[in-house]
A and B are shown apart, each in its own frame.
Chain A
Amino acid sequence: MSDGGVVAAHDVLLVGGGAAGLRAAIGISESNPELDIAVISKVYPMRSHTVSAEGGAAGVAGEDDTIEEHIYDTISGSDWLGDQDAIEAFVNEAPRELLQLEHWGCPWSRQPDGRIAVRAFGGMKKKRTWFAADKTGFHLLHTLFQTSLKYTTLRRYDEWFVTRLLVDEGRVHGVVAVELATGEIHTIMAKAVVLATGGCGKVFPFTTNANINTGDGMALALRAGAPLKDMEFVQYHPTGLPFTGILITEAARAEGGWLLNKDGYRFLQDYDLGKPTPTPVLRSMELGPRDRVSQAIVGEMQKGRTIDTPYGPVVHLDLRHLGAKLIDTKLPFVRELCLKYERIDPVKEMIPVRPVVHYMMGGVHTDINGATPVQGLYAAGETACVSINGANRLGSNSLPETLVFGARAGRAAAAYVQSLGEPSATTQDAIRAQADDEVRRLRAELMGREGSEKVPQLREQMQHTMEGAAGIYRNGPDIAAGSQKLAELRERMEKIGVADSSRAFNTELTAALELANMMDVAEAMLISAGRREESRGAHQRTDFTKRDDEKFLMHQLVHRNDAGELGIEQLPVTITRWPPGERVYGR
């Protein structure tokens, strides 16, 4: 077999088969059927982590709602770090994208008259979150996947793991990937590449994220010369199940669930989030934004008002007063997950929950069309940072983000490739040399290599290092200590051994490559967190407790130089009509 050989050449290659990648693929298939496009993913598309999203997708729908209000909620939710032009585009286009999904068959929950139903969500002043019970991501992903099957010319590389972007003179030309079933290494040429590989929650020990969320696209982009943006902003979801970290959707609170401390007290009222009322009030109490609610739970831990369990301190999410009928209609998955993984029935018992790493606000730096500074390289979805989420994403904004910016990146990539000819002979030589180099690295340095270090141990140490240095509350000395520890772990990575020398479905090799990706992402997070000497949104510094607009109303871009060293530069936030103000919830 000819390792590293070119197996195909496409106009556009979408890396990742979740919502963003599939939305881009369908969009290009519809608008530019003459283009040759392909989706490559390390898992079958329907295994992508979009599948785990529960609560819903925001898009202005109700007669009492306005575009302006969704924009304002998103900007204030972002603690003014989101780019206002991007947020405007997002909010304007989200409803049409959700309607498009409806036309493709998404089983959105309905009102009695057959119109789309919407529910409340945290940090949103109006009900505007479309939902398919509490399996919104599952239905959205399968609708996109099944719709994509219509396009018989859409090529898919299922279970192919991309290990390198091929870039010459600032322009992308394709990828090198391992076909997992056979272990063969291939080069796929592409005039444009769209990264849609999702998030990086597995950098931390306790996360709602799936095993596959290892920041692959972020690491690929960084190494290819595209900067990462705002990597210090890691979202903790307030309500994860202890031990597993399984997500209990925010919709549980939107439907009327309460957060209680060990005394049965609705403690959020002590954290400037409003006053308790029997039924939910928008942008108040349990419908506060995720950063503030997670921080409040830590506050309760520090006051000794949480409940101790073998898996750490928890608070209670109480749904009992909602009744079996509402829970079975609106929150069936919550009940199923609690029964299976906690052996409790939320109809009769309170759910133990604790904050859990859930989402990466930062990502590959793109413009409003998903374009990165590397020509032909695009990114969309959680992999990317446009940025609409700024310092804190609002719940139910991420699913429409995958659709709006998946479609935008697809359109931009399709337009870009129209004008391109074949790469020059010099470029082709350079690309071939890079591909050969990658094959050598994979074969010689990793597969079946003897080594004193093991992937699982280094991974566990990295995860605990990150929890210690970049958790809900951070400070300079902890970040510095974490950086030092991470540098040591990266050195030890050089001595990693891969005992599995088989070619077929070598998951030990995949795990080693994923760990390398996570180490790069982790390093970018810590350098960004160390540099941002203020508190904003999900980035809370105990040594710099105030928001500092004078110095830090700025994005931070992490670049990597040829020697592999990271550097940071600032980029102004785009402010159009909404000057920075105070974030007010519940008053």
Chain B
Amino acid sequence: MTVEIGPQAAARAAEESITIEVTRYDPDSDQELRTQSYEVPLRKDWTVLDGLNHVKDTIDPTLSYRWSCRMGVCGSCGMNIQGQPSLSCGTFLSDFAPGPVRVEPLANFPVVRDLVVDINDFMEKLPKVKPWIIRDDVDVHAGEFLQTPAELDAYTQFSSCINCMLCYSACPVYGLDPEFTGPAAIALAERYNLDSRDRGARERLDVLIEREGLWGCTFVGECTRVCPKHVDPASAIQRYKLKAAQESVRAVLLPRGAG
């Protein structure tokens, strides 16, 4: 079991190479973003993340980026790769041969350092849509809430969001109006609305119906296109808008709470 493995060992055996052009920014010393090029081995099983790790370990230890699971589920390593919001652990260098590959921080977020962006705006918006089960009759001793496979299927897609922020980076509306709640948070609100165990749809609608919560979206659909987990936030937003429109008609016709 002492076979030589791992990215560094693989690198030693590599022949071809590819250039990656990486955005650099150090708030201590840079006035603006700049680009730095690195040559890394081009191997068919190397992702862009493997390329960045090669740079970090053997060329430039100061390059900063987030990564963890390297299997597309922790949501840490979102970046703009060749202009597209992508998970660097799920994007292969060979898809861009002969190169160069442009690697930039996700758009629409402040840059903290190099490829690391500040996602606190999302972290503050997420609790506002109340992404948890809302209901009163909670007694664990009474056993599980029944939920048929069909009821489970109704929301499973929207529960697959890994909070990777690719949809916010792709969303032209969020880019123009930072107050917009945004695709992932709305999809997670809808995830709970569609859960047969939940009773909180009305509460969530009250939050989202406010001016910037929902209405900003113009159905560009970029969020759905870039989602690595096929969550389809665009359809969540569409469903929400329909409900909100119905609600506002009812609100005119009926006093609040009568429905």
- Say whether A associates with B: yes
User: Hey, which chain B residues are within 8 Å of A212, CB to CB?
Assistant: 68
Q: From B2, which residue of chain A is reached at the shortest CB distance?
A: A468
Cβ-neighbour of A244 out of B70, B116, B160 (below 8 A): B70
> Does residue A115 face the partner (Cβ distance < 8 Å to B)?
yes
B82 at the interface (CB under 8 A from A): no
B90 and A340 contact, CB distance less than 8 A: yes
Interface size on A, residues (CB 8 A): 77
Q: Is B112 an interface residue (CB 8 A)?
A: yes
A115→B74 contact, CB < 8 A? no
Contact between B149 and A112, CB atoms less than 8 A apart: yes
Question: Contact between B112 and A505 (Cβ–Cβ < 8 Å)?
Answer: yes
Which B residues are CB-close (under 8 A) to A336?
72
Given contacts A149-B132, A467-B1, contact A211 B70 (CB under 8 A): yes
Interface: B173 (CB within 8 A): no
Asked if B163 is at the interface of the complex by the 8 Å CB criterion, the answer is yes
Contact A313 B133 (CB under 8 A): no
The proximity string for A residues 438-464 relative to B, scoring 1 for CB distances below 8 Å and 0 otherwise, is 000000000000000011100010011
Query: Are B71 and A456 in contact (CB-based, < 8 A)?
Result: no
Q: Which of these binds chain B: A94-102, A165-173, A276-284, A566-574?
A: A94-102
Question: B255 near A: Cβ within 8 Å?
Answer: no
Q: Does B61 contact A (CB under 8 A)?
A: yes
Q: Say whether B69 contacts A505, CB under 8 Å.
A: no
In the assembled complex, the Cα of A90 lies from the Cα of B152 at a distance in Å of 28
Number of interchain pairs (Cβ within 8 Å): 185
Query: Which residues of B have CB within 8 Å of A464?
Result: 2
Contact B68 A504 (CB under 8 A): no
The residues of A that contact B56 with a CB separation of less than 8 Å are 456, 507
User: Which residue of chain A is the closest to B128 with respect to CB atoms?
Assistant: A149
Near A by CB (< 8 A), chain B positions 89-128 give 90, 112-114, 116, 118-119, 123, 126-127
27 A-B pairs, CB-CB below 8 angstroms? A43-B66, A46-B163, A47-B66, A103-B133, A103-B138, A104-B132, A107-B156, A110-B147, A112-B148, A116-B144, A135-B73, A138-B162, A139-B159, A146-B131, A149-B126, A149-B127, A152-B127, A181-B112, A210-B68, A243-B10, A246-B71, A311-B3, A467-B1, A471-B2, A502-B28, A502-B62, A502-B113
**Contact yes or no, B68 A114, CB < 8 A:** no
B132 close to A147 (CB less than 8 A): yes
B123 touches A158 (CB 8 A): yes
A502 touches B127 (CB 8 A): no
Interface segment, one of B192-200, B201-209, B213-221, B241-249:
B192-200
> In the complex, are the beta carbons of A206 and B58 less than 8 A apart?
no
- Which A residues are CB-close (under 8 A) to B145? 102-103
Q: Closest CB-CB distance, B8 to chain A, in whole Å?
A: 6
**Known contacts being A102-B144, A105-B192, A181-B112, is A52 close to B73, with CB within 8 Å?**
yes
Contacts of B114 in A (CB 8 A): 505
Tell me, yes or no, whether A298 is within 8 Å of chain B by CB. yes
Q: Do A504 and B148 touch across chains, with their CB atoms under 8 A apart?
A: no
Q: How far is the CA of A96 from the CA of B114 in the complex (A)?
A: 45
In the complex formed, the residue of A with least CB distance to B188 is: A146
Pair A149/B152 contact, Cβ less than 8 Å: no
B49 shortest CB reach to chain A, Å: 10
A157 within 8 A of B: no
**Taking A107-B155, A115-B146 as contacts, is the C-beta distance between A505 and B64 under 8 angstroms?**
yes
CA A464 to CA B156, docked complex, whole Å: 41
Q: Which residues of A contact B140 (CB under 8 A)?
A: 96, 99-100, 103
The interface residues of chain A lying within 8 Å CB-to-CB of B116 are 505
A43 and B160 alpha carbons, distance in the complex (Å)? 20
* A506 CB-CB contact with B under 8 Å: yes
- In Å, the complex CA distance between A468 and B29 comes to 43
* Of A47, A181, A205, A312, the contact of B118 (CB 8 Å cutoff): A181
Q: Any chain B CB within 8 A of the CB of A322?
A: no
The answer to whether B127 touches A51 (Cβ under 8 A) is no
Q: A355 — which chain B residues lie within 8 A by C-beta? A: 1
- B253 at interface by CB-CB < 8 Å: no
Is A525 an interface residue when CB atoms closer than 8 A count as contact?
Answer: no
Q: Select B69's contact among A51, A142, A149, A301, beta carbons within 8 Å.
A: A51
Q: Is B67 in contact with chain A by the CB < 8 A criterion?
A: yes
Q: Return B200 CB to nearest CB of chain A, in Å.
A: 11
Q: Find residues 284-304 in chain A having any chain B CB closer than 8 Å to their own CB.
A: 298, 301
Asked if B27 and A504 sit within 8 Å, CB to CB, the answer is yes
Complex Cα distance, B113 from A345, in Å, reads 38
| Smallest CB separation, A536 vs chain B (Å) | 20
Selected from A43, A503, A508, the residue in CB contact (under 8 A) with B62 is A508
- A44 at the A/B interface (Cβ < 8 Å)? yes
Q: Find out whether the CB atom of B71 lies under 8 angstroms from the CB atom of A244.
A: yes
- For A503, list chain B residues within 8 Å (CB): 28
Enumerate chain A residues within 8 angstroms of B45, measured Cβ to Cβ: 243-244, 341
Contact residue among B6, B26, B147 (Cβ-Cβ distance under 8 Å from A114): B147
- Of B8, B28, B73, which one neighbours A51 at CB under 8 angstroms? B73
- What 17 additional pairs, Cβ within 8 angstroms, besides A104-B132, A112-B149, A244-B45? A43-B74, A44-B123, A49-B69, A99-B140, A107-B195, A110-B148, A150-B127, A205-B6, A246-B71, A298-B1, A456-B56, A456-B61, A502-B26, A502-B62, A504-B64, A505-B64, A505-B113
Closest to A212 in B: B68
Contacts of A48 in B (CB 8 A): 74
Can you list the 6 inter-chain pairs with the closest CB atoms, starting with the nearest? A114-B146, A312-B3, A456-B57, A505-B113, A149-B127, A500-B62
How distant is the Cα of A548 from the Cα of B27 in the complex, in angstroms? Answer: 59
Asked if B176 CB lies within 8 Å of chain A CBs, one says no
Residue of A nearest to B149 (CB): A110
Q: Which residues, 37 to 80 on B, are CB-close (under 8 Å) to A? A: 45, 56-58, 61-62, 64-76
Binary contact track A323-351/B, C-beta < 8 Å → 1, others 0: 00000000001001100110000000000
- Judge whether B177 is part of the interface by a CB distance below 8 angstroms: no
The chain A residue with its CB closest to the CB of B192 is A105
Q: Give Cα A118 to B155, complex, Å.
A: 20
CA distance A468 to B27 in the complex (A): 43
Distance in angstroms from A160 CB to nearest chain B CB is 13
The residues of A that contact B27 with a CB separation of less than 8 Å are: 502, 504
Query: A472 within 8 Å of B by Cβ?
Result: yes
Q: Does B259 have its Cβ within 8 Å of any Cβ on chain A?
A: no
